[in-house]
Chains A and B, each alone.
Chain A
Amino acid sequence: DVKVTQSSRYLVKRTGEKVFLECVQDMDHENMFWYRQDPGLGLRLIYFSYDVKMKEKGDIPEGYSVSREKKERFSLILESASTNQTSMYLCASSWTETQYFGPGTRLLVL
C-alpha cells in the first residue's frame, strides 16, 4: 500500500512565524503536490514537483515556497505565516495519474 505521511496533524502558529510542513512518501513516486483545502473552495494547488529539485507553481503559490531535496520528501514552507493561511494542507504523490494523499495538516495561524 502507498503511504504518504505528513509531519503533523494539527499545528498552531503565530503570525510572522516561519512554518515547515513535511511530507514523505514511500513508493518512489516522481510527482508530489501540496494543496490547501478550504470550505466552499475545494482543493487548490499550491506547488507541485515532478522530480528532485524541480518545482512548479500551482494556482496559489503566493506566500509559500517548497523544497524537494530527496525524492521521497516534499516540504512546504510558509515564510511568514499570516492568518489567511489558516487552512487544511494536504500533500499528495503520484506516479501515474492516481494521486495518493496524506492525512492532512490542519494549521491555525493566530
Chain B
Amino acid sequence: RKEVEQDPGPFNVPEGATVAFNCTYSNSASQSFFWYRQDCRKEPKLLMSVYSSGNEDGRFTAQLNRASQYISLLIRDSKLSDSATYLCVVTRDNYGQNFVFGPGTRLSVLP
C-alpha cells in the first residue's frame, strides 16, 4: 500500500461546480498535512496547510480526520484557473521535514 493515496482522477467539471478531493495516508506518526497545487509543466506550490480543526481559505476548505487518516480538499465555485494537479502531502515523522507526496489528482475546469 502506498503511503499517501489520492483519487485517481482526472476530474472534469464545469465552471462554478463544487469538487472534492480525497486523500488517505498510512503512517499514523504523520504530524503535518498539506495540499500543494502543480500547474502543467510548473513546480508544485503550497495551496494550504491542513489542521485538525479544519481550515478555509476563500473558496478552498481542507479537512483532516486523524482517526481515519483521511484528508480532503473542497473547492467551491470552480474557476478555469483552478485547473491543475492537486497533491496531498504529509510528513513522515515528528521532525516535520521528511515529506511524502501523493501521486496527485488532476482537475480540469471546463467553460
Contact = CB atoms under 8 A, between A and B. Distances in A.
Interface of A: 31, 33, 35, 40-45, 48, 50, 56, 58, 90, 94, 97-99, 101-104
A42 B43 contact: no
B98 A98 contact: no
B99 A42 contact: no
B55 interface: no
29 contacts: A31-B97, A33-B99, A35-B101, A40-B103, A41-B103, A42-B101, A42-B103, A43-B44, A43-B101, A44-B101, A45-B99, A45-B100, A48-B98, A50-B97, A56-B98, A58-B98, A90-B44, A97-B32, A97-B34, A97-B49, A97-B96, A98-B46, A99-B44, A99-B46, A99-B99, A101-B44, A101-B45, A102-B43, A104-B43
B62 interface: no
A40 B5 CA distance: 11
Nearest to B100: A45
Contacts of A44: 101
A44 B101 CA distance: 7
Contacts, number: 44
A73 to B, nearest CB: 18
Contacts of A41: 103
Contacts of B49: 97-98
Nearest to B42: A103
A84 to B, nearest CB: 19
Contacts of A99: 44, 46, 99
Contacts of A40: 103
